Amino acid sequence: MNAFKLSSIPNIDFGSGSLKNLNSHLAKYGKNVLLITGSKSFEKSGNASKIRNSLLEDKFTLHEEKVNSEPTSVLIDEIVSKHRSKNIEALCAIGGGSVLDTGKAVAAMIKETEDIKNFLEGVGNKKPSGRTLPLIAVPTTAGTGSEATKNAVITQSGKNGFKSSLRHDNYIPKTAIIDPELTLNCPVFITACCGLDALSQLVESYLSTQANPFTDTLSLDCIGRILNALPPLCSTSQNNVNLRADISYSAFISGFTLANAGLCVVHGLASTLGYRTNAPHGLICGLLLKQWLKMSAKYLENPLLKKKFNSLASLISKDKNPVTGFLSFLDDFYSSLNLPSLSKYGLTEETIPGIASLSGNKNNPYPVSQKDREYLLRKIL
């Protein structure tokens, strides 16, 4: 067994209706609060007005920001500049992964004196101090697991774009309120993309060269949960709270496992595709995951990979050759989700070599060449 370390996790408040505890969690830190939310879907759900009214009734001073897209360095700097002088005592981010990442970045940068670009990995040349406002993270989608991680992903699109992390151990939220009922209003496509992001994170961290027995146990359990829950949630059981709970729990665990075991070539490619196309991150990861698993099945002469792949396959297939049954299941699983290809989002044959050359394959359980990365990208065109 290899040596390993585990990062901490937030205080967890999990379960249907747990949102009702938000005020008491925030009050531990003060009553001058910055609330960061998504825009349209959260407002339409009715939850936004309920939260505002509840906080105001409890005498909180409320400042608000709405986020419509993945956080950029410009967006973070603008929000920080607007609120730095207001003596904010705590921050609450309620929304999908982009909202939670925005919350983490703002909570951190409000304690710094320079622009966020200076602290981004591979972009800036400074390390963050680790000072941060207390953050309560409340996911309304089940995918990124950002409520469990110590980094915020910042994106800049275009030719000179990047997808980079602001990272520090202190950026893990103080508390994560995971209320599966908040995901009931997710459209089917968003449910599918977010679920596939979580699934990718779990599978990659399970097969990663940095995996350990602790993360393996959690990953394998939650992979099974998503494989069983996602198809019905995207068809006839969209309002099944128990299935939503399985996905919400699994997404949180995926954040923990990626933080402690790392990711592989799927997210290596997805990172570059994220600023080279306008495709949803979860869709990118999900499409790549299927092809990567099929590629991985060709490398089972590696004893550890074979053992793990068989365990993975046995979650679904009870055949004498579970790998064959599992690969067949994958085709049916993905067909049930009715996903578009990435050609719809700007991936072209001409752009594939460049994207492949900029993408990493850290922690992958076998070597992945430029040719292999190009192959994976062509399979999702």
Tell me the pLDDT band of 321, cut-offs 50, 70 and 90. Answer: confident
* For residues 24-37, average pLDDT: 98
Over residues 122-141, the pLDDT tens digits come to 999 999 999 999 999 999 99
Answer whether residue 42 shows pLDDT above 80. no
Backbone angles phi, psi at 38, to 5 degrees: -75, -170
Q: At what angle do helices 213-233 and 241-261 cross, to 10 degrees?
A: 150
Domains observed in the chain: 11-182 (3.40.50.1970), 187-379 (1.20.1090.10)
Between 241-261 and 188-207, two packed helices, what is the crossing angle to 10 degrees? 40
**N-to-C CA span, the chain:** 39
Calpha distance 29→138 (Å, rounded)? 16
Sign of CA dihedral 193, 194, 197, 199: negative
pLDDT tens digits along 165-183 = 999 999 999 999 999 999 9
Q: How far apart are CA 290 and CA 359, in angstroms?
A: 18
275 pLDDT tier (thresholds 50, 70, 90): confident
**Cβ of 349: how many Cβ atoms within 10 Å?**
11
- 269 pLDDT exceeds 90? yes
Which residue, among 48, 92, 95, 47, has the nearest Cα to 71 in the 3D structure? 95
Give the residue among 225, 245, 234, 230 at the shortest CA–CA distance from 182.
Answer: 245
User: What integer is the mean pLDDT of 246-265?
Assistant: 98
Type of residue at 356: A
The secondary structure of residue 146, as a DSSP letter, is G
Mean pLDDT, range 311-321, rounded to an integer: 86
Residue 68's Cα: distance from chain center in Å?
Answer: 17
Average pLDDT score, the chain: 95
Pick from 89, 190, 80: which is nearest to 134 by CA? 89
pTM above 0.85, yes or no: yes
User: What confidence tens digit (pLDDT) does each residue in 98-129 have?
Assistant: 999 999 999 999 999 999 999 999 999 999 99
Residue-level pLDDT at 44 = 79
